[in-house]
Structure 1
Amino acid sequence: MNGGIAKQYNIESIASGGYSSALKQLLPAAPTPPSPENPTPDSERSSHLWRWAWTKSQKHRDIGQNKAMCLFKLRDLLDAKIPVREALETVAQEWAIPAATIRGWYYGTSQHPGVREHPKSDWAALMIPGWSVQRERKEIPPAAWDYFLALYLTHDGDTVAECYRRTDEAAKQHGWGDLPALRTFHKRVQSDIKESTRVYWREGEVALARLYPPQKRDRSMYAAGEAVVGDGLKFDKLWVKWPDGEVLNTSTGWFWADLRSNKILAYRLAKTENTDLFRLATYDLTAICTPTDAWIDNTVVAANKAMTGRSGNRHRFKNREDDPLGLLQLVGITPRFTLPDMTKSNPGAKPIERSFGIGGLHDLVAKHPQFLDRGFSKATAIPYAEFAQVVAQEVVRFNARPNRRTDICAGVKSYDEAFAESFKDATVRVLTLEQREMLLLMPEVVTASRERGEIKLQAGKGPHGAHRYWNEAMADRKGQKVVAYYDPADLLAAVTVTTLDGQVIGKVQHYAGVGFGDTEAGREWAKNKARSQKAQKVAAQADKRMGALEAAALTPAPNTPASIPAPGLVAPNFGQPLKRVANGDVVGPSSDPQRQRIFQENVNRMLDRHLAKTAPLKTRSTGANQ
């Protein structure tokens, strides 16, 4: 029909050798497969088919589209009353595909159905490789499916097979109908239940939170030694015999690692994880560097008041106004706690955790060749000295291992090399000896006695009382709360006393008790008391530099009493006020004649004085008017 010339063809007379160009133009174009957002098929089966199709690769969808184009042309030929054999041969020759294969696609085989009974809009999906083994979706009674989900979607729920058996029993009892095979339920669980739904109900919120991708943080913003991360590691695979003879499998180490390079900087070992272990490891750390920030867990050991008191976001113990300032803050280290809520954060994602995991320090020590066939029981316990030696060796090997796959090491450097490269150009804070010694002490808030300022520690308190400490400076702190820093290993040594906000008061000596009949100790105590009293008197006299006579000479003379002027006007007493007597009658002033006469004379004198004062004023005023 181009150029006004019409051409008519008898479709039944077309040779079986192939399509003519005119017939190709008459055939409709292949429909475009629906998008996953708005699928064309309305039936549930078609929707399921296209959901499956969009899970396949583009290459597989293109194969299905090409096969569907071939079948579209076959269908058009059949609709045009062309015999089946001729139509198959025509399409086979055009597409270079065996006619038997095209026939199987269209009519189906004994192994899989064809597309003839399906809408043409689904053919592109039906021809995708893999669908040939699919079977028609079998329906599960809604009541049975709801019952199955109630059994399966529970915390630590049973297997699909067991839930299916219980559902089958309930379906027979309640008449829900016949159920498909167990395999159908397995497939339905995979296709109809989202992974997030399954994880939430069967594994909980913590597992659901792990489905969200983690946040990656850049640690290159810190220089070497500027920030550290610490945590405890329990060597629970080894039994260790300690010097006191106790055999334990709870030997624990506290490790500090540089945040930038991951290098292990300092550590201490103990029988269990405790505050002293944390404190002494920090003391060793300050011999290398004093970091500005320290990331630690919000545990009882790490978040205790002795080490991190008055710090923010410390969700351990009850905060009080008289809590001492933590030892970390005293030496200028800011503690930063990980969020303990596993549904909102992941406290186990600290960088040092990777140093403890598979292939980390825990495995390196437990599987050391020196410990082969040893340490797995109390009978084969490892001496502590040998255990500590192996831990030290493995820490060195761990830091020196090359080709670390971190952003800082770039798969080339070791932790030692990465730390040294940054540390040589870093500004390192160094503590004084006195500041470092504070980490060897433990704080305790005490109240100085109201009598003399003496303090007593609860630490080391026994049946014979508590340890007492006092010096002359404590007399100024009577009744006040102070912080005493004591050495847990030597309670007889002097303690360092500070105010609650960290101001140092000084060293306070220990006062030990003595035997009741120890006269030598009594004489020594009296001698020390006399010396103290003498020194206090000298200091008191030095403080008072002005004597009593000098003060008396400088005291101002007493002032003379001020004269009292005469009143301007005197108010008279006009008799007694009215009185109410017992019988209820009211009487007036007294009717005594003598009192009346005296009263009248007083009134007359007052009136005469008043007239005498005002008479000259009236005379002058009258003369002026004249």
Structure 2
Amino acid sequence: MAGIAQQHWFSPAELAAMALPALPATTQGILKFAKGNAWLSPDVEGVSWRNREGRGGGYEFTMYSLPLPAQAALVMRMQAADPVAQKPDEDRTRREREDLWWRFDAMPEKRKAEARRAYQILDAVEVLIQNGVRKNYAIIQIAALRGVGTTTIYNWYRDVRGLNRCDWLAALAPHYATAKPRTECPREAWDILKADYLRLSGPTFNDCYRRLQDKAKEKGWKLPSTKTLKRRMDALGPELLTLCRKGEEALRRMYPAQERDRSMFHALEAVNADGHRFDVFVQWPGYEKPVRPVLIGFQDLYSGMILSWRLDISENKEMVRLAFGDMVGCYGIPAHCWLDNGRNFASKWLTGGVENRYRFKLRDDEPQGIMPQLGVQVHWTNPYSGQSKPIERAWRDLAGGLSKHPLFEGAYTGNNPVNKPENYGSKAVPLDVFIKVVSEGIREHNERIGRASRVCGGKRSFQQAFAESYATAPITKATPEQRRLWLLAAEAIRADKTTGEFKLEGNRFWAEELTALRGQQLVVRFDPQALQGSVFVYRLDGTFVCEAPCLAAAGFADKSAAQSHNRARKAWIKAQKDMEKAQNRMSIAELQDIYAPDPDAAEEEPMEARVVRPFRPAAATSGNAAIAIQPDEEEDDYLVRAMEMERSERPGLRLVDPDEY
């Protein structure tokens, strides 16, 4: 019995000698049993039985031809005879099962359906066998009922032979493949076709193939069919085809967008801002032609509610600053703010001094913006990215519908030059009407019930969700000093070196405190629409200095203005003199008395010269034997000449005769 484990075919004598259950114990009995149970069916020749080679001839059978009890007993004897068989390779079995199911999972649904049908038929046969019906009879009955051939069922049993019942479905999947001869394409022709097709111009494949056919006639190439080459081109992958034919932006859109959970915030913890240009013509004061206004708004990320908004003829930093001020003044200071890196949002007035303002240089003398001074953490996003700024989705929902409001009929411009309505440019909406419609639209947008966001749950509105969280959230309110930060703009200006005054947009500003900051750079916060009023002056580090009023430029012949200016100057000088008296508590006479010499002090002995040069008067006729002493007349002549030279250089001076006085 030592060789049973390696033996796959058994003769009737060997089966009789093993005395397996459900089988006769004699050779003749085995042969009779085989003929009675259709072991020798021509359909399974070579699979379940074969003619025995060698002396004596006869037949040989596999263990799978035997009844199930005999198969089980034979397997147990084989494992007992072969110790290796008792320890199967678990890793190999696992890999085979994984490969089997991987192949099944990759098949189309049509082949999977065929496998399920085969499994149902084998399962029906197994049920009959378990109820005492012989296997061949069970196969015949089920084959007749299901309309399949018995040979097909036997082939299915061959496919699942040796496999666990749980893997039969994967093993029964058709694994035939029709190999077709592959027509080779010349390498140079394939390179030409790829270079022609994979262009941003996006030519059709048929045009590229026709051009390649003309080149193939010249070179003598034999090309595959159009469908074959198109199939090979598509096999390069949709990502590569999109990148080459539509560009990087189209490829970026193929990548799934990140789904961000905004319910992690509370009300006013995080906001985002963006602008939208309306597709409506509006009559704007001061402009002859109609304009398309721009809406700037701030949205709460937690609830989606529009917190503040401003309108202007164009997107500019002033309206962004004012919209931000409206939000902070009404609700409070947010902790985070998401902005794109456009020049209006990334202006130094709003975000000056913030790191990663990568579109602009960060200078040392740049004034600190409003958001950094209020402690708002700024995050930069990609422009035109709805995933980064949810407010863009709100503009599409809100502004798109408002542009087609009934009151705007005739003023609607269309969302692009191609989609212009027939009544394009026939009307322009008055500004007051436009503002009322936008205000009402934003109110309705915030109060609409049944929002499908995660926070609203399909039941509440944006405003309800915001109000519920706002009532329990820690909110930071702005102080009156902080209100100056967003209501006014900031600009670095150098004070005058002499007076400390400075000019802004042609207007002069000065205050007494600026005298101590002469020649220094200052941060001036002002209202661009009220430059005739006062401005607030800060140091570069954000320290408040004073409020500087505007010095109005009066007319040259305006006597009252001159008198007012003189009175103000005299008052200022008087204040400085009073300060001088307050500081100088000691008079000059007292100071002179302190430093006066002591009359009782002993006189010091005169200092005696140690080296003396003798005096030698010059003779009348001598030359340069002695040092000549210049007479006083010559000194007077020298002074006169010097003053005449100075008068020639400065015509405004004249000599005065001392005798006149």
Q: TM-score if structure 1 supplies the norm length? A: 0.69
Could you say which residue in structure 2 is the equivalent of 1:108? none
1:195, distance to aligned residue in structure 2 (A): 2.0
Amino acid at match of 1:150: A
Q: Do structure 1's residue 188 and structure 2's residue 232 form an aligned pair?
A: yes
1:391 aligns with 438
Q: State whether residues 111 and 173 of structure 2, in contact with CA within 8 Å, keep that contact through their aligned partners in structure 1.
A: no
Q: Which residue of 2 aligns with 1:411?
A: 458
Which residue of 2 is the match for residue 352 of structure 1? 391
Kindly indicate whether residue 557 of structure 2 is the aligned counterpart of residue 517 of structure 1. Answer: yes
**Residue aligning to 2:356:** 313
What amino acid sits opposite 2:114 in the alignment?
Answer: I
1:5-44 to structure 2, matched below 5 A, reads: 5=25, 6=27, 7-8=30-31
Q: Distance in 2 between matches of 1:477 and 1:470?
A: 11
Amino acid paired to 2:147: I
Deviation readout 1:439-475 (Å, 9 max, x if unpaired): 2212111111111112122xx3xxxxx2211122111
Q: Which amino acid aligns with 2:111?
A: H
Tell me what 1:63 maps to.
114
Q: Give me the whole-angstrom Cα distance separating, in 1, the residues matched to 2:592 and 2:236.
A: 100
Instruction: Measure how far apart 1:547 and its partner are.
Output: 4.2
Q: Is the 8 A contact 2:446 2:461 kept in 1?
A: yes
Q: What is the distance in 2 between the residues matched to 1:185 and 1:100?
A: 43
User: Which residue identity lines up with residue 171 of structure 1 in the other structure?
Assistant: A
- Matching residue's letter, 2:392: E
Q: Report whether the alignment pairs 1:375 with 2:412.
A: yes
Secondary structure at the counterpart of residue 496 of structure 2: coil
2:313 equivalent to 1:257: no
Q: CA deviation at 1:193?
A: 1.6
Residues 9-408 of structure 1 mapped to structure 2, 5 A cutoff: 54-56=105-107, 60-61=111-112, 63-64=114-115, 93=143, 96-98=146-148, 124-125=173-174, 136=180, 138-143=182-187, 144-180=189-225, 182-190=226-234, 192-235=235-278, 237-289=279-331, 290-339=333-382, 349-357=388-396, 360-376=397-413, 377-408=424-455
Q: Secondary structure at the match of 1:349?
A: coil
- Give SS of 1:446's match: strand
Q: Deviations over 1:355-378 (max 9, x none)?
A: 122xx1121211223334443333
Q: Distance in 2 between matches of 1:430 and 1:531?
A: 41
1:496 alignment counterpart:
536
CA offsets, 1:50-89, max 9 Å, x none?
98x754357833625876999xxxxxxxxxxxxxxxxxx9
Q: Give the whole-Å Cα distance in 2 for the aligned partners of 1:561 and 1:22.
A: 149
CA distance in 2, matches of 1:93, 1:561: 151
Deviations 1:1-32 (A, max 9, x none): 2516453457999798998997695679xxx9
Q: CA separation in 1, counterparts of 2:110 and 2:602?
A: 120
Q: Contact 1:399–1:416 at 8 Å: present in 2 too?
A: yes
Partner SS state of residue 515, structure 2: helix
Unaligned ranges ≥5, structure 1: 40-49, 71-88, 106-120, 461-465, 563-626
| CA 1:241–1:265: 2 relative to 1, 3 Å | same
| C-alpha distance 122-555 of structure 1, shift in aligned 2 (>3 A) | farther
Give the match's secondary structure for 1:168.
helix
CA distance in 2, matches of 1:348, 1:512: 51
Give the superposition deviation at 1:90.
Answer: 7.9
Partners of 1:391 and 1:258 in 2: CA distance:
19
Deviation at 1:269, TM superposition (A): 0.5
Deviates more, 1:165-174 or 1:500-509: 165-174
The amino acid that maps onto 2:557 is G
Paired residue secondary structure (2:545): strand
Q: Which residue identity lines up with residue 336 of structure 1 in the other structure?
A: H
Distance 1:198 1:123, change over 3 A: farther
Match of 1:453 in 2: 500
3-state SS of paired residue (1:265):
strand
**How far off is 1:275 after superposition?**
0.7
Amino acid in structure 2 at the alignment position of 1:225: L
User: C-alpha displacement at 1:392, in angstroms?
Assistant: 0.9
The 8 Å contact of residues 61 and 124 in structure 1, kept in 2 or not, is answered as yes
Q: Secondary structure at the match of 1:402?
A: coil
Q: Which deviates more, 159-168 or 496-505?
A: 159-168
**8 Å Cα contact 2:186-2:223 kept in structure 1:** no
Distance of 2:207 and 2:367 partners within structure 1 = 58
* Counterparts in 2 of 1:555 and 1:409: CA distance versus 1, 3 Å: farther
CA distance in structure 2 between the partners assigned to 1:444 and 1:561 by the alignment: 67
Question: Which shifted more, 424-433 or 295-304?
Answer: 424-433
Alignment partners' CA distance in 2, 1:224 and 1:334: 16
Question: Relative to structure 1, is the Cα distance of residues 162 and 66 closer, same or farther in structure 2, using a 3 angstrom cutoff?
Answer: same
CA pair 394-417 structure 1, distance change in 2 beyond 3 A: same
Kept after mapping to 1: 8 A contact 2:303/2:462: yes
Do the aligned partners of residues 13 and 515 (structure 1) sit closer, same or farther apart at CA in structure 2, a change above 3 Å counting?
closer
Q: SS at the partner of 2:262?
A: coil
- Structure 2 gap ranges (5+): 1-14, 50-60, 66-92, 122-138, 156-169, 414-423, 605-661
Normalised to the residue count of structure 2, the TM-score between the two structures is 0.66
Between 1:217-226 and 1:443-452, the stretch displaced more is 217-226
Report Cα offsets for 1:151-191 as digits up to 9, x if no partner. 222324322222222222222222220331x333343333x
Could you say which residue in structure 1 is the equivalent of 2:71? Answer: none
1:17 and 1:141 map into 2 onto residues whose CA distance is 47
1:227 and 1:292 in contact (8 A); partners too: yes
Cα offsets for 1:338-390 (capped at 9, x unmatched): 256x9xxx575212122122xx1121211223334443333322222111111
Shift of 1:301: 0.5
Deviation by residue 1:218-264 (Cα, 9 ceiling, x = unmatched): 323322122211111111x2112213344445311101111111100
Report if the CA contact (8 A) 1:240-1:375 is conserved: no
Q: Does 1:428 align with 2:475?
A: yes
The CA RMSD measured in Å over matched residues stands at 4.3
SS at match of 1:250: coil
Report sequence identity in percent: 31
Tell me: CA distance 1:196–1:37, structure 2 relative to 1, closer, same or farther (3 Å): farther
What's the secondary structure of 2:435's corresponding residue?
A: helix
* Mapped partners of 1:11, 1:349: distance in 2: 78
The 1-side partners of 2:554 and 2:406 are apart by: 55
